[in-house]
Structure 1
Amino acid sequence: MKKYLERTPILDYDHALIQGLVAKRGWHNLEDEKKIESIYNFVRDEIPFGYNIDDNISASSVLKDGYGQCNTKSNLFMALLRAVGIPNRIHGFTIDKALQKGAITGVWYVLSPKNILHSWVEVYYKGNWYNLEGIILDKPYLSALQQKFSDCKTTFCGYGAYTDNFENPQIDWNLNNTYIQDKGINQDFGVFDSPDDFFKKHQQKLNLVKRWLFRNYIRHQMNRNVSEIRMAGIHSNQSLESKLLMNLEGKSR
Structure 2
Amino acid sequence: MSTDYIDADHPLVRATATALVPGAASDIERVGRIYHYVRDLPYDILAAFRYLARGEHRASDALRHGVAFCMGKASMFVALCRAVGVPARIAFQTLSSPDKEFLAPEVRALWGGKSGRPLPWHSSAKPISATDG
TM norm structure 1:
0.36
Measure, in 2, the Cα distance between the counterparts of 1:93 and 1:23: 28
Partner of 1:75: 75
Amino acid at match of 1:8: T
Number of matched residues? 100
Partner of 2:89: 89
Q: 1:192-231 residue pairs with structure 2 within 5 A? A: none
Measure, in 2, the Cα distance between the counterparts of 1:23 and 1:43: 14
Tell whether the 8 Å contact from 1:28 to 1:84 is kept in structure 2 after alignment. no
Decide which of 31, 34, 56 is 1:36's aligned counterpart.
31
Larger Rg: 1
**Identity of aligned pairs, percent?**
29
SS where residue 126 of structure 2 aligns?
Answer: strand
Instruction: Rate the CA distance shift 1:18–1:63 in 2: closer, same or farther, 3 A.
Output: same
Higher strand share: 1
Measure, in 2, the Cα distance between the counterparts of 1:75 and 1:69: 10
Runs of 4+ deviating beyond 4 Å: none
Partner of 1:48: 42
Tell whether the 8 Å contact from 1:15 to 1:60 is kept in structure 2 after alignment. yes
Structure 2 gaps of 5+ residues are 96-102, 105-123
Amino acid at match of 1:11: I
Higher helix share: 1
Partner of 1:131: 127
Measure, in 2, the Cα distance between the counterparts of 1:12 and 1:44: 19
Tell whether the 8 Å contact from 2:18 to 2:84 is kept in structure 1 after alignment. no
How well do the aligned residues superpose, as a CA RMSD in angstroms? 2.5
Partner of 2:63: 63
Measure, in 1, the Cα distance between the counterparts of 2:57 and 2:34: 19
